[in-house]
Structure 1
Amino acid sequence: MTATGRRNAVDTLKVRDARDVEEAVRAAIASDQPLEIIGHGTRRLIGHPMATNAVLDLSGLNAVSAYEPNELIITVQAGAPLADVQSLIDSKNQQFAFEPIDTSALLGVPGNGTIGGMIGAGLAGPRRIKAGGARDHLLGAHAVSGFGDSFKTGGRVVKNVTGYDLCKLLAGSWGTLAVMTEVTLKVMPKPESERTLVLSGLDHVTANRAMTTALGSPFDVSGAAHLPNSAFRPATGELAGFLTQGRAATLLRLEGIAASVADRANSLGKTLSPFGSVETLQDAASAAAWGAIRDVEPFAASGALGAWPVWRIVCPPASGGALGQALARDSGGDVIYDWGGGLIWAALPPKPDAQAALVRQRVEAAGGHASLLRAPEETRRNVDVFHPQAGGLAALSQRVRNSFDPKIILNRGRMLLMTAT
């Protein structure tokens, strides 16, 4: 392990292997010094700012330990660049089916991070409605707990029922339970063909019904998104081609064997005919559009709404249209929908609390939860970034954390608002 020196009074410890991680965590426990866990640091702007002057840098753990394309599994160290791993599996015509989000456009931070950051964030893209999330594709992990001890969870096969499936807890934990050093993931073949049907001009609620209709059909829809008409965000980039004349667009994706996709697209188009005429995007054009939706490019930091806070809202899909419409109207903001209405991205006009009270009131009434994914540091110091949990669930979460990291050494304060006592 090497210390890369002090920069702005921050010690950065760059590890070489799992043993280095153990030593670093044990030293932090002994001195009661919390550690910020990073790979490439591309998602450091998500969560509460952490009060620490010690950074544990995992970028040196960047090897692919094993890749078996025929078995559809890959084992890779946590600090491996996500872009490099995606390029490797793409060379075998394979992919991570849950479509990990590249947050670089949304946050304005270059690069799409590491494999460990991908799992720790647990942010899945449009195919979440069909393929599940990151945790569903995480087969096993090696990690170091907040006790400074290495442990292994899961394995290298899909059906693994030995002991507790602890690796599912690591997905979406934002580095607060353990330091992952190596993970095994399931990969899937890339579809031969894809086609997206586009409905134009629908309002929020009608689009929600169209998406629900498509997802309830037998045609195996793998993406359902809606971009409402907006006065705030001009149609640019990959989405400009079909957001013509400022009209709203509802997108429904089909994937698979070319002949099957063509047949299903024809049948789905007939099913959706009550909602209006259907246009079609094929293959490269379809993939580019869904990449822009996945990465929330309409709310990019470099765009018209780059200075606005952005909320990520998960709710029952059937409630999404009404919730998003009311939120946009009452906040003066803008929304886009994914997951058939189950995921709402909301960019709201800046206020000191990022309009948290309004957002959380509306979201809780709809049975959902909301996270503040982009906001200035001062806002993130004073507003709950992640949705506050009810008493019983909060107590359970604390017991889980204490069982992994009783002294709260790892990413202290990232997920919970720390109040002065």
Structure 2
Amino acid sequence: MARMLTLFVLAHWGHHLLSSIIPPLLPYIRDEFEIGVTQAGALFSAFTIAYGVSQLPAGWLADRIGRRALILLGVSGVAIWGILAGLSPTYWVMIVFMVMLGVFGGGYHPSSAPLVSSQVEAKRRGWALGIHQIGGTTSNLSAPLIAAGLATLLGWRSAFVIPGAVVVVLGIVLYVLIGRSGPQASQVVKTPMTPMTPNLAEAKPGSRAGLSRLATYMIIGTAGQVFILSTIAFASLFAVDRLGQSEGLAAALPFMVYLGGMPAGPLAGYVSDRVGAGRMLIVAGLVAGPVIYLMSLVTSVWTSIPVLLALGALVFTLMPVSELYIINHTGEANRSTVLGIYYAASRGGSGFLTLGIGYLIERAGFGSAFAIAGSTMLAIAAGSVLFLWLQRRTGSTG
């Protein structure tokens, strides 16, 4: 079990590295191609929208043709397109490569989450998913430092090419090692649907009430991630344009987001195994909006640090806890498909919202854009909690 979790942590690190490098490099790319804030944000949106949309067919395929090959494409395939993005001669060519990077990445999460959760007994699923999250968090944590260091020393293009070459090799090695670990590493153990998560009210999984409850919790988890990811996508540009910092320092600033997220994933998974994923989603969802709003009040790098740490802790809490809730409330036959829907919404949604926030920034400024984003997130979370409360109060059975 320990060996398999380690392999999946490494795979998760490689999967996210090239995409995590994009936001810190936006100030460099903006200057290179002489584009505005909205166009710079569109580069990240091109990736995230394609990444989100591709989760739907990838999740369906994972349930039918197996997961190991999709994990290879999600690591080495992503890295190859990342290398090409770093070699882009024009802005529009880079847009195309960002789309392909997203398409190839779509199969990783719907394939890996069920495999990771199947390596442990049901009562430890949250812990396992939290450990798996360390790979993604470490990737996000190291990406701003790698981007800032390589961009300063060798130019921003090297920050795509050099890490990309390393990840291509890593993906191939992991593919072989996972295969050698036996069929249990690439196939999910057939287990019945086991809804273990305590909720405001229990509803029979598969019933109309159970499906509406599942959808509501997915909305909370998805919205929190979408609004936070779309906000932090502009952290580097915010540091340059509003806080007056250098591009090098601005590229490293997202490090704080992922530093906050590093302990949050495993801790959130551990706590969810004990108090319930539903309750964790509600708390994190309600807190997310006010913390995003705080970004509108930031006036210096020093005041931005605690806010970015908190945003990181929240988004990396929402990720494994959302996965746990879905896995505990879906059957094996359609688990990757439902996860694909969730990933499509949470990853693709941030791409669309990034465009919207970029538009608001250019029209009204960073402060107003962040304030609107935070207020909207709070309204969504509060409305979802109210729906769950009303469903419990009326004793809805479908």
Indicate the TM-score class for this superposition, using the shorter chain for normalisation. Answer: under 0.3
**Max Rg structure:** 1
Which structure: greater strand fraction?
Answer: 1
Which structure: greater helix fraction?
Answer: 2
Structure 1 length normalisation: TM-score? 0.27
The structure whose RCO (Cα within 8 Å, separation 6+) is larger is 2
